[in-house]
Chain A
């Protein structure tokens, strides 16, 4: 197998708090190839954003602590890099779109200033002329189908609507020509028609620029329409991964199945009960498989050791003892 673009192996991240350490990520594995569109799904608090932030190395340390694992980006371990190299990855390698565009943009600077700053930072020293930076910023705004780009450059974030602000964030992330884009719930705070527009736009731009993308979301529908491969996460562990089509036609892990059933359907067949119980306390997570207290199929082994990924064929892997060969 080729080294691939991104390879996260056995990543463990904890947060030091009063009363102990929150063991949030508990052995996350994720690999992606060049040009792939990967989805990362899970409920609130399952560690999706923590995974993304560790990849970009922007977790606040302390309180966060990465105590095990590696993240290799194009064959180099991000966690072992020095400051200069990290900068380089952050500037040119990976960019990220955050969930809330209102919080991601600085309210006291104009869109133009912020966008040009991002472009200048990503060029790392090869000084771009002011004129050239401006041209690039305008092009980025035109790329995301915003009207009247000259005026928007002078606007402050509050003068724009939520959909427009998120498009600015998309513009900012894509203006830097990075190889990997992490989109963290880019459309959660938007309405369905706007969500449709932003996702469609992101799709065409990513295709044009051949950027690989990780789409983080809790909406299974968005993942199904947008990605090629899906990782399902629960309480800091990857529980299942497969090609998108395969996963939606044949979900195997009890958690994935519960999640699928809980989504209200347009066919109107009523709503299933969902998964009973709640996400475990990270201060003292249950031993073994972290899902076992909520699982309907639990076996004695589930409470003792954590299940490894077993391959069930068709590029489909599940971390569950039910499917262990």
Chain B
């Protein structure tokens, strides 16, 4: 794959396997995608589909088993300890549960000043000012500096986690289900803030979620993952108008919606059945064929290749 000028991240046939007593877990098995600057790519999938593993491999919590990750043209396919420090501050992550990603025994000031110290972003004198600025960015009052994570609400904790990710002035942020532990009214606030920050700071997001309706409003492109593989990628509007993969259609028709107008947008009801199989023992052929309503003979034998059916719309299916 050639590296384009505006491309910020390219993932090339990424694999991450875990060895366990039950056998090799193929959590991520050949994932390729790329992200352009200031884009939001939505990575959607059910639990166990490997979307968080993709995120963790990109930020370097795990080294990849095979495949490459290029960030701004540099190969970063290794764990975080072995990446150059200036690169580390460009890539940040916001985790799903702010209750466990923030240390409850530290004050918010301490939480926010750590990345500033590590990357020598501020001097001792202007550190407080920097922290005030960060809190201002996520619309929290300055007095929150002296509170600790247990003393504030779930939504506010997630705001602090976002502020911490932004402390190093990154260009690429991985958002790993940042709102799935929160209520809808709080979620709306956080999403709005994230979109505003993207505009202001020229951020690129890899947004991981299982909520397709949220994706519709947030992402430029959507990728669907199933059992460690991407089965469909398309620009958001195209994706929702013209879903192609049977799994995508099953997902879309399962979403509970709140208005008649949305109901019309959903594809015809595909009765969902079965569950995601264990990644230790992936079925042969297309990994989805056991649950697929339109399976054919070939599906249980040959794993389909990714094909481009329209510009930017890729599908992995024999149909």
Contacts and interface: CB of A to CB of B under 8 A. Distances in A.
A260 B188 CA distance: 11
Contacts of B155: 278
A218 interface: yes
B186 interface: yes
Contact of B46 (A191, A197, A260, A275): A191
A192 B254 contact: yes
Interface stretch (A7-15, A133-141, A174-182, A263-271): A263-271
Contacts of A225: 256-257
A262 B191 CA distance: 10
Given A268-B237, A273-B189, A263 B272 contact: no
B188 A272 contact: yes
B258 A268 contact: no
Interface in A160-194: 161-164, 191-194
Label chain B's interface by main secondary structure: helix
Interface residues of A, number: 42
Interface residues of B, number: 41
A192 B256 CA distance: 8
B185 interface: yes
A163 B275 contact: yes
A265 B251 contact: no
Interface of A: 43-44, 161-164, 191-197, 218-222, 224-226, 248, 258-276, 278
A278 B254 CA distance: 31
A210 to B, nearest CB: 24
Interface stretch (B6-14, B32-40, B95-103, B208-216): B208-216
B261 A274 contact: no
Given A265-B262, A266-B213, A266-B266, A192 B251 contact: yes
B187 A267 contact: no
B1 interface: no
Contacts of B276: 191
A270 B237 CA distance: 13
Nearest to A220: B258
A278 B189 CA distance: 11
B275 A274 contact: no
A162 B276 CA distance: 11
Contacts of A221: 255-258
B255 A275 contact: no
B188 A192 contact: no
Closest 3 CB pairs of A and B: A221-B256, A274-B188, A274-B185
Interface in B226-260: 236-237, 240, 250-251, 254-259
A218 B216 contact: no
B217 interface: yes
